[in-house]
Amino acid sequence: MQNYISLMRLDKPIGFMLLFWPCSWGFAYSIQDNLLDNRWIYYLILFFIGSILMRSAGCVYNDIVDKKLDAKVKRTRNRPLVKKTISIQKAWLLILTLCLTSLIILFQFNLNSIYLGLSSGLLILLYPFMKRITYWPQLFLGIVFNWGVILSYCVLNNKIDQEIFILFCSAIFWTLGYDTIYGLQDIYDDLKIGVKSTAIKFKKNIKTFLSLVYFTSFSLLIFAINLKIKEINLLYFLLLIPLIFLIYQIINIDIKKTKKNFFLFKLNNYYGLSTFVILTIIFNNA
C-alpha cells in the first residue's frame, strides 16, 4: 500500500492542492452570478475529489513515461516503478481506475463542461514529453494544471467568456513561477541527462524571471477582478496577503539552496488558499 501511495504522491498533498486552488478560483469568480449555496459547495467538493484523482493519475502516467529518466535523478531514483516494486501493468490498471472514477464525477456536470473536461486529456498525455523538446515544460504544465479554472466556471455558468480566460492566464503565469522553483531541485541532474526546464534556462537570472512571471500573474488577477467589479473596492487591500507570498519567494530564492527552495515552493499552497478566500469575500460582497 505504501508503494501505491508513493506512486500516486498521496504522501505529498501539495500537488493536488495546487491543482485544486485554481478550480476554487473559478468557483469564487462565479459567486456574483451564482449564489453561494449548497450546489456551489457540492460542486466545489467534487472538484476537490477530482483534483486528488487526476493528480494521482497524472503522477502515475508521468512515472511510466519517465521511468528511465527517473533512474538517473537522485530525487526520483527510488520511485516504485524504478525500483520495480510495482509493475508497469499494475500502474496502467491504476491509471484506468483513477480516470474512470474521475469520469463519474465529470458526468455530474453540464454537457459543455464534460466536453471541456475531456479535452484536457490530450494535454495531460503530452505534458511528460515537453521537457524533452522545449525549455518551457512549466508553461505547458501551467495550461494543463489550471484547466480547472475554466472548467469550474463552465460548470456553474455553462459558458466560457473573456473574464475567466484572463483569470486562467493569471494562474498559468503563477504555475510558471512556482514550478520553476520546484525544478531547481533537479537542475544539475537534468543538465547531465539533457532534460530541459525554465529552471535551467533562467538559472542565471532566476530572480528577474520570477519577478516577471509573478508580476504578470498578479496583474492579470487584478485585471480579471476589475472586469467584473467596475470600481475600486476596499476589499482589494486583502490581496496584499497573497502578494506577500509571491514577493517573499522572489526575495529568498537561491539556486544553491535546495531545501529552502522547496520550502518557497510549498508556500504557494497558501497563495492559492488566500487567493480563493479573498476572491470569495470580494465577489460575495460585490
- The full 3-state SS of 107-132, as one line of letters, equals CCCCHHHHHHHHHHHHHHHHHHHHHH
DSSP code at position 73: S
For residue 19, pLDDT beyond 90: yes
Contact (CB, 8 A) for 59 and 19: no
Which of 104-108, 167-171, 197-201, 235-239 bottoms out in mean pLDDT, i.e. has the lowest?
Answer: 235-239
| Backbone torsions φ then ψ of 8, nearest 5 degrees | -90, -5
The percent of residues above 90 in pLDDT, for the chain, comes to: 84
Mean pLDDT of 261-274: 97
For residue 232, pLDDT beyond 80: no
CA dist list (Å): 124 to 45, 127, 203 = 22, 5, 27
pLDDT digits (tens, 9 = 90+) for 47-99: 999 999 999 999 999 999 999 999 998 888 999 999 999 999 999 999 999 99
CATH of the domain at 24: 1.10.357.140
What pLDDT is recorded for position 1? 86
What pLDDT is recorded for position 282? 92
Range of the domain at 264: 2-284
Give the 3-state secondary structure of residue 10: coil
For residue 220, pLDDT beyond 90: yes
Total count of domains within the chain: 1
Q: What's the pTM value of the predicted model, to 2 decimals?
A: 0.95
Average pLDDT score, the chain: 94
CA dist list (Å): 116 to 26, 107, 120, 160, 168 = 14, 11, 7, 10, 14
Residue with grid cell 502516467, as numbered in its chain: 61
For residue 171, pLDDT beyond 90: yes
What pLDDT is recorded for position 137? 95
CA dist list (Å): 173 to 89, 148, 196, 218 = 36, 15, 18, 9
For 152-219, the DSSP string reads HHHHHHSS--HHHHHHHHHHHHHHHHHHHHHHGGGHHHHHHHT---HHHHTGGGHHHHHHHHHHHHHH
Q: How many CB atoms lie within 10 A of CB 68?
A: 9
The packing angle between helices 206-228 and 268-284, to 10°, is 20
The C-alpha angle with vertex 114 and arms to 110 and 120, in degrees rounded to 5, equals 150
Q: How far apart are CA 26 and CA 33, in angstroms?
A: 12
What pLDDT is recorded for position 36? 78
For residue 263, pLDDT beyond 80: yes
For residue 286, pLDDT beyond 80: no
Which of 104-113, 182-191, 258-267 bottoms out in mean pLDDT, i.e. has the lowest?
Answer: 182-191
Mean pLDDT of 147-165: 94
